[in-house]
Amino acid sequence: MTSRPYMNPYLAGFFLGLVLLATIYITGRGLGASGAVKDVVVSVVKTAAPEHYQEAAFYRQYDQDHPQNPLSSWLVFEVLGMFIGAFLSGLLANRIALKLEKGPRVGNRLRIMAAIVGGALFGFGSQLGRGCTSGAALSGMAVMSLGGMITMLAIFGAAYALAYFLRKLWIE
């Protein structure tokens, strides 16, 4: 069984734009992703290390801004939906499989290490930059936010600048 081809990128972009527009029209905010991971981290710290939660400046600020349970946040529910939506799409297109993708000369161990390091950088950067590709760049573009535009240019600019040096990870 072979998997189905991907959707035409412009058509997919059009539908994605409509989902984003519906989100803005209904809720007044954009889509996001990294914020949900933060809510989970906060929730874990709150349960596992309540003393640290009380003391650390970051969590004190968070608690003030989000008086409700960190897990009952908009983004956590949205990301739960994302998992289900992506799974359904993978099911329909016959793409569900436990595997990983990597450059031609990259071992599995290196790929996993790189994914963890990349994830850590992205997670760290998304907190500093107040949102990731979804929350800052894409949603910011839709509402013409200047900050979103700057973040987007920085993300793609930095990735392009580093691409040559990291080509062994992907193409050679």
In the complex with another protein, the residue whose CB is nearer, 6 or 47, is 6
CA-CA distance, 84 to 39, in Å (whole number)? 19
- Of residues 51 and 83, the one with the C-beta less far from another protein: 83
Query: Among residues 2 and 99, whose Cβ is nearest to another protein?
Result: 99
- Nearer Cβ to another protein, position 54 or 88? 88
Pairs from 64-72 (Cβ < 8 Å, separation ≥ 24): 69/43, 70/39, 70/40, 70/42, 70/43, 70/46, 71/39, 71/40, 71/43
Residue 171 within binding range of another protein, rule CB under 8 A: yes
Nearest to 62 by CA among 44, 89, 81: 44
- The answer to whether the CB of 76 falls within 8 A of the CB of 36 is yes
Tell me the closest approach of the beta carbon of residue 153 to another protein, in angstroms. Answer: 7
Total interface residues for another protein by CB under 8 A = 121
Binding pattern for the stretch 147-166 against another protein, x by CB under 8 A and - elsewhere: xxxxxxxxxxxxxxxxx--x
Q: Which of 54, 86, 105, 168 binds another protein (CB under 8 A)?
A: 86
CB 43, min distance to another protein, A: 11
For residue 65, what are the CA distances in angstroms to 74, 105, 107, 134?
Answer: 14, 47, 44, 21
Q: Smallest gap, in angstroms, from Cβ of residue 108 to another protein?
A: 8
Q: In the range 18-77, which residues lie near another protein by CB under 8 A?
A: 18-35, 37-38, 40-42, 45, 56-59, 72, 74-75, 77
Binding another protein by CB under 8 A: which of 47, 50, 81, 168? 81
Element (H, E) at 136: none
130/124 Cα distance (integer angstroms): 10
| Residue 107 binds another protein (CB under 8 A) | no
Residues 111-150 contacting another protein, CB under 8 A: 111-112, 114-150
Dihedral of CA 56/152/73/87: which sign?
negative
